Chains A and B, each alone.
Chain A
Amino acid sequence: MAEQTTVGYIQHHLANLTFGRLDKDYVRKDHDGNVIAVLEEPTWTFAKNAEEVSEMGFMAIHVDSMAWSIGMGLIFCLGFAYIARTFNKGVPTGWQNFIEMLVEFIDGTVKDTFHYRNAMIAPLALTIFVWVLLMNALDLVPVDWIPVLATKLAGDPNFFFKIVPTTDLNVPLGMGLTVFGMILFFTVQRKGFMGLVKDLCLHPFHAKKWYINVLLIPINFVLELVSLIAKPVSLGLRLFGNMYAGEVIFILIATMFGAGLILGIFAGVLQWAWAVFHILIITLQAFVFMVLTIVYLAQAHQVEEEDHNTH
């Protein structure tokens, strides 16, 4: 690690442990550019460098992101399920207090925003909030600890390992797309497929005469389609952007640790301060993701008649 350049250090910290498919006849090289092997058939393997990762393209999976994301999800699910199982209906104690407070808070937020009958929304909101919060919270672990531990365990100094799932674009975007799927699903479920089409074609411009409406349909469609697609993308990118930026700043601060005692101490103070600030960001981003999901789903449930009545 000592001879690593700053650029290499940063690149290493931003790369995921990727398991993917390499095509036939791909020439694998080691770090110094020597040819190790020529693949005789398509192979599923761990990528050893950025080149291999880009070669794998879509047919690859970020093992570290998935593992930490599932791990955090399991902590949430099993922890909460355990509390739910041992739930004391009398006087709540310890963790139960915390969980109840959280559940009450989520329930209140959902009730404030979502006025339709759908038992899925509140559990969905709870899952998003706690899960994203836990995944984001991994950002507070000093950036070198786990990657260095992983390289030591793997015995390979170029072993990629990134622990914060939400700084991997796939993860927030995957969740955003899932929410997008839910928006479409609930829209169709509540208003039918024609309802979805109407939503797309008759808003925001609407005229009394049908022939004007026909003219307005293309304009409406373009506008509504953009706003519809913007929902999952903004949802995913907002979370990703915030977390990625935070992570990069942590890494930049961490590069100063090697630059002498004074700078090292300064970096330590900086890291501490940024971590404190980051506590706000990770909570806020989890909350924003949750609230926007609820709002989008509430819009999906909104039937036109009600729309006219309430506005």
Chain B
Amino acid sequence: MNINLTLIGQSITFLFFVWFCYSFVWRYIRGAMEERQKQIADGLETADRASRDLELAQEKAAQYLRDAKQESAAIVEGANKRAAQIIEEAKQTAREEAERIKAGAQAEVEQEVNRAREALRSQVAALALAGAEKVLAASIDENAHRALVDDLAAQL
């Protein structure tokens, strides 16, 4: 083995390649890799944020849904109440109407009865008169007893 100029040649070559690697290889590769690392980190963060946003939105949607349900339930309840009320009112009205009609009918019946009684009364007078006339045909003087019978009829 001989030590010779190769030693120095190799040293120079070595330094040259180190310089070359430093200037044209390492910084580009490392730079690009670091850039990518940053990109990936950013992407992951964005995804994270997006998923957080999604969660928030879902929560909000659920809240809206809950509110809407509550509101609709309230509306339905109100409507039911109102319906019951209307029914109740209608019933009341109907009852009053019936009551009124009944009262009217009763009044009419009473009136009719009165009228019939009046008619009957006048006819009873006539009938009694006729009967009495027949019974008393002979003995009674129509003129003499007329006032008496009329008085009787008036008392009926």
Question: A residues touching B (Cβ–Cβ < 8 Å)?
Answer: 16, 18, 20, 53-54, 56-62, 65-66, 69-70, 73, 76-77, 80-81, 83-85, 87, 89-90, 99-100, 103-104, 107, 119-120, 122-124, 126-127, 131, 165, 168-171, 173-175, 177-178, 181
Contacts and interface: CB of A to CB of B under 8 A. Distances in A.
B33 A61 contact: no
A119 B20 CA distance: 13
Given A84-B25, A123-B25, A170-B4, A61 B11 contact: no
A99 B4 contact: no
Identify which of B5, B16, B36 gathers the most chain A CB atoms within 10 Å of its CB: B5
Contacts of A58: 3-5
B93 to A, nearest CB: 81
B13 interface: yes
B64 interface: no
Interface string B1-25: 1111111111101111110111011
Nearest to B10: A174
Interface string B27-67: 11110110110010000000000000000000000000000
Given A61-B9, A90-B36, A174-B9, A123 B28 contact: no
Given A80-B21, A119-B22, 19 more contacts: A18-B4, A58-B4, A60-B2, A66-B9, A69-B10, A76-B17, A77-B20, A77-B25, A84-B29, A90-B36, A103-B33, A123-B26, A124-B18, A127-B17, A127-B21, A131-B17, A165-B10, A168-B1, A174-B6
Nearest to A20: B4
Contacts of B36: 89-90
Identify which of B10, B24, B35, B36 gathers the most chain A CB atoms within 10 Å of its CB: B10
Contact of B24 (A16, A61, A81, A181): A81
Dominant secondary structure of chain B at its interface with chain A: helix
25 contacts: A20-B5, A61-B5, A61-B9, A62-B4, A62-B6, A66-B10, A69-B13, A77-B25, A81-B24, A84-B25, A87-B32, A89-B32, A89-B35, A89-B39, A119-B22, A123-B21, A126-B21, A127-B18, A131-B14, A168-B1, A170-B10, A173-B3, A173-B7, A174-B7, A177-B7
A56 B4 contact: yes
Interface size class of B (residues with CB under 8 A): 20 to 34
A32 to B, nearest CB: 24
Contacts of B3: 58, 169-170, 173
A58 B9 CA distance: 12
Contact of B14 (A65, A87, A178): A178
Interface of B: 1-11, 13-18, 20-22, 24-30, 32-33, 35-36, 39
Contact of B11 (A20, A90, A177): A177
B18 A120 contact: yes
A227 to B, nearest CB: 22
Contacts of A174: 6-11, 14
Contact of B6 (A81, A126, A170): A170
A99 B2 CA distance: 36
Q: 6 nearest interchain CB pairs?
A: A174-B10, A170-B6, A84-B28, A123-B26, A123-B22, A174-B7
A73 B20 CA distance: 10
A181 B111 CA distance: 143
